[in-house]
Amino acid sequence: MLRTFLTVFVAGILPFEAVSQDISSDLHLNVIPRTAEERTRIANVTSPTTDFNSAESFEARPAGATTVRARRTADAFSISSDNLPFEDELDFKVGNGLFRKLWTSSPSSTLASDGLGPLFNARSCQRCHIKDGRGHPPANTDDNAISMLVRVSIPGTYEDAIAEIEDYIATKPEPTYGGQLQDFTVAGQPAEFRLQIEYEDVPVELSGGETFVLQRPIYGYENQGYGEFHPDTMFSPRVAQQMIGLGLLEAIPAVDILANADPDDVDGDGISGRPNIIWSHEYETAMLGRFGHKAGQPTLPEQNAAAFSGDVGISSPLFPQPYGDCTVAQPDCQNAPHGDGDARVFEIDQEGMDLVTFYTRNLAPPARRDIEDVEVLRGKEMFYSANCTSCHTPKFVTHRLEDRPEHSFQLIWPYSDMLLHDMGEGLADNRPEARATGREWRTPPLWGIGLTEQVSGHTRFLHDGRARNLMEAILWHGGEAEESKQVVVDMPKEDREALIRFLESL
């Protein structure tokens, strides 16, 4: 296969061998190219710090000029970008209304809101991304999985792969249940499954005699009305992610993300970040994956449209099927009444999708707290000394953009490299997604993580919410992060506590 090569320059010359197509061109952005002087300034300002005696310049504003004051309420993640022009606030509020809208089943007198399902996980986006924060994992086997969904697929063949994407792992939807399992349904349709979950205690001993007891989830999937699952079905339970800062993550230059990739661990540090490469339905080409637990979507419009289709059963111009994730093995579901065919054409039209995208792009990360606190600074030093920054990259500068001034040329601190990493067998879902293996996950951004309890009412972390606090989340790290985790395990207790204080300040 013909290969192309991409060379990027960040504080020196760093070669990165790209996949078989150029994914460095950000097709979704109207970019003003950087000057040589700007590239030098960016390299200087994003270089890792070695001074932990005081906070860095601009560190208090992790989202640049979009950063908002840290509220003390559950609305801390629901505020528009601080630099959003007043005339755009109406679009933000209307987009918020569509994000919160409760969709109804068809036929309905509320023609602007019908089309729900027939199978669905939630009646609105906000129902999973509660207060625009993290979802709620079920507490026990009797609890409704109100913010958790289960992706499913089976191994594919060569014909199921995308030839244009090198290392693409061939999978295909489960023949009966499609790409994910829906636990709710409109009247007259059986739901697909009921989630069962139990937890197994896993004690972990830390230095100083401290012990943490992790909870390993054991999942069961009880089918409800469509027959047995395919024997090779791969299941991936996932909790909804927080929504802040997505427009800024979308605006990071692909070349800057690719500059941190080291799939063959050439530098020998044990970290092998890889980009996920996704086929874009919007642009009909391969693009860099940015969103989702495995970086399975390239842009916010595509992420939002896919969620409307799979999670709510709502059609859009990008995913026009009115029956959502129903398969040909579910004919009653595919033929159920739907909301297409009125003045909207689709159940949500392009104008509605644009408003939802505008809303999700402009949910602003809150300002940091206590950045000059001595313990927070000590925790930051521990974060760096444990090499957590090898995946949780502190800083980027976004593209200069012609049509999105609020996201243009911002110094941001997401603490993510946006790449895939092998996190070990303990966190593996064993379900590939595009180029991501069953052990790989995208590094989640950490900004706002210290406000999780305030916004979401819990402190559950990781892709399925198994970690009940930040220390448990660290202790679940394995694979490429095993060495960093062990550094934390061996730290004096007071240094571990400082590390947690630093994370809580983000």
pLDDT digits (tens, 9 = 90+) for 42-87: 999 999 999 999 999 999 999 999 999 999 999 999 999 999 999 9
In a domain, residue 20? The reply is no
- Residue 11 tokens, joined: 């504080």
**DSSP-H helix ranges across 230-337:** 246-250, 254-258, 300-307, 331-334
Q: What is the number of structural domains in the chain? A: 1
The one-letter amino acid code at 475 reads: L
CA 290/CA 299 separation, integer angstroms? 7
Parts of the chain with a pLDDT under 50: 1-20, 141, 145
User: Do the domain assignments include residue 274?
Assistant: yes
Residue 139 lies in a domain: yes
pLDDT of residue 186: 94
Predicted TM-score (pTM) of this structure: 0.93
The token pair that represents 51 in the structure block: 């001074």
Characterise 452 by phi-psi region: left (phi > 0), alpha (psi -120 to 50), beta (else): alpha
Q: What is the distance between the alpha carbons of residues 396 and 406, in angstroms, rounded to a whole number?
A: 15
Residue 20 has what pLDDT?
46
Under DSSP, the state recorded for 201 is E
Q: What is the pLDDT of residue 108?
A: 85
Per-residue pLDDT, 159: 82
**CA dihedral sign, ordered 452, 459, 238, 212:** positive
The answer to the question of residue 10 being in a domain is: no
- Does residue 106 form part of some domain? yes
Question: 207 CB contacts (<8 Å, ≥6 apart)?
Answer: 489, 490, 491, 492, 493
484 phi/psi in degrees, rounded to 5:
-65, -40
Range of the domain at 186: 25-504
Task: Tell me how far CA of residue 15 lies from CA of 2, 4, 405, in angstroms.
Answer: 18, 12, 31
pLDDT for the residue numbered 17:
42
Residue 179 placed within a domain: yes
**Cis amide prior to 107 (ω within 30 degrees):** yes
Is the distance from CB of 345 to CB of 114 less than 8 angstroms?
A: no
What is the identity of the amino acid at 317? P
In a domain, 12, yes or no: no
